[in-house]
Amino acid sequence: MRVVVDYDLCESNALCMAAAPEVFEVRDDDFLYVLQDEPPEELRAKVEDAVRRCPKQAITIEG
Amino acid sequence: MGLKRVVIVGASLAGLRAAEELRTQGHLGTITMVGDEPHRPYDRPPLSKQVLAGKKPPESTALHGAGGSLDELALDWRLGESATGLDLGDRTVLLGGGERLAYDGLVIATGAAPKRLPGTDHLDGVHTLRTLDDCQAIRAALVASPRRVAVVGAGFIGAEVAATCRGLGIEVSLIEALPVPLERGLGHAMGAVVADLHRDHGVDVRLGVGVVLIEGSDRVERVRLTDGSVLDVDLVVVGIGVGPNTGWLEGSGLTLDNGVLCDATCLAAPGVVAAGDVARWPNRRFDEVMRVEHWDNAIAMGTHAARTLLAGPAGAESYEPVPWFWSDQYDRKIQLAGRAGPDDTVEVVSGRVTDRKFVALYGRNGTVVGVLGMNQPAKVMKLRSLVEDGARWEQALEVARG
């Protein structure tokens, strides 16, 4: 599974961080940092939740 | 799994996320999705912002799944059709066209409809904003360069529409019967900050006044207010709240009380769940029966309701979210995690209100109940756990200021 963020859409709402903090971090500069581009399979449910919760539909999962 | 046929009424965000969760959890049976609009599910927040401003095309609001497509969900669509009745005994949903859909599991996600100002139906130029079609009608009116727009109601929709109009260089009067904008969502003190934000951007903010009459021959021409003032306008956008779409459920046997009343697990009757704006349920975390009209709740509750349906009454878990919403106005992002009541204590813990970049906590009975941020998304999300944990007020202040 590969996590792809469209930074043109991302507005750092930080919902992804709440859903999957292992993968997404919005830092105090209010930019989103993807901590793991290819998170392990056991995080899939959390990452999918992050995809669903993103107000900008900026996250997609490949694979 | 005992469910073969699931019917979802409401081709909405909540309905779609319920469908997605059913498939994720392995439901192989049919999912029929009924929607009274001709469109597949779409995202409503941009309708008062980017799409209304013309910065994004209407098509950009189409919702997709985690894999990028809705087709993989194999939904059986009934678009442009309204549900008109529910027979709980026979387990069937009646559609306006006469079709009867039998179900083993039913998800009610019919949302809510905007309240209208009485006596304005004969006038062109008076709009509410809920659907894509509403948005396009208002967009067309904005493109026609109105002299002034009256926005009636300074809730989220009204405040965002006012901001969008100012972004287009259009004169706006924002009219609110309560003393401050967003009072219901943010309380008085922070609502006052939002009033200042709109004044900063040149909005004619009229607070504590109501509309007496909207006048015009065919089209709106004037708005008369309770303080005696008269505004010459070409367009009125009314955002005075919504009511849950439960008309089709009258007499069905479901308990309708400002929404479909559910138990703590989102179950409204055997085999029937409800989610999103239309649903009311006891949120045990806050010891409050709530109906939440936020975008994020449509997702979380749609997902939860689907799980409840699959789990059955014995295995269902209670739905106890910390509500969250955001509102973009001008270049400010307002976010609230938790609940904000009119009598809560409010304390700014980071940044400054005058900079329009700050975080504030809401406290009630010695406990933190909400975190509000303006242009502080990371901090809001980090401090949300204080609400989740039900942190004591003094301790929350200490953490937030740390």
The CATH number for B369's domain is 3.30.390.30
Residue B179 in this model has a pLDDT that exceeds 90: yes
Counting Cα atoms < 13 Å in the Cβ hemisphere of B348 gives: 14
Q: Are residues B106 and B246 in the same domain?
A: yes
CB contact under 8 A, A52 and B377: no
CB contact under 8 A, B66 and A51: yes
- Give me chain B's average pLDDT, please: 96
Total count of domains within chain B: 3
Which residues in chain B are contacts of A61 at CB distance < 8 A? 66-67
Q: What are phi and psi of B185, to 5 degrees?
A: -90, -30
Looking up residue B123, the CATH number of its domain turns out to be 3.50.50.60
Q: How confident is the model at residue B341 (pLDDT cuts 50, 70, 90)?
A: confident
Interval A8-51: pLDDT, tens: 999 999 999 999 999 999 998 889 999 999 999 999 999 999 99
Interval B229-251: pLDDT, tens: 999 999 999 999 999 999 999 99
Which residues in chain A are contacts of B335 at CB distance < 8 A? 13
Q: Torsion over CA of B34, A55, B245 and B329, rounded to 10 degrees?
A: -140
β-pairing verdict for B222-225 and B272-274: unpaired
Q: CA-to-CA distance for B321 and B333, rounded, in angstroms?
A: 22
In a domain, B259, yes or no: yes
CB contact under 8 A, A12 and B303: no
Q: Are residues B283 and B224 in the same domain?
A: no
In a domain, B324, yes or no: no
Q: Work out the average pLDDT over B215-223.
A: 96
B296 in contact with A, Cβ within 8 Å: yes
What's the Rg (C-alpha) of chain A? 10
ipTM exceeding cut-off 0.90 for this assembly: no
B13 to chain A: closest CA residue: A52
Looking up residue A18, the CATH number of its domain turns out to be 3.30.70.20
Query: So what's the pLDDT on residue B137?
Result: 98
Residue B345 in this model has a pLDDT that exceeds 80: yes
Domain residue limits at A36: 2-62
CB contact under 8 A, B66 and A26: no
In a domain, B33, yes or no: yes
SS3 content of chain B, % helix, strand, coil (to 5): 30, 30, 40
Domain residue limits at B108: 5-113+242-315
B304 to chain A: closest CA residue: A49
Query: So what's the pLDDT on residue B67?
Result: 67
Q: Are residues B125 and B234 in the same domain?
A: yes
Which residues in chain B are contacts of A30 at CB distance < 8 A? 375-378
Residue B66 in this model has a pLDDT that exceeds 90: no
Residue B367 in this model has a pLDDT that exceeds 90: yes
In a domain, B325, yes or no: no
In a domain, B320, yes or no: no
Total count of domains within chain A: 1
Q: Work out the average pLDDT over B141-148.
A: 96
In a domain, B341, yes or no: yes
| pTM more than 0.80 | yes
Q: Quick one: three-class SS letters along B134-176? A: HHHHHHHHHHCCCCEEEEECCCHHHHHHHHHHHHCCCEEEEEE
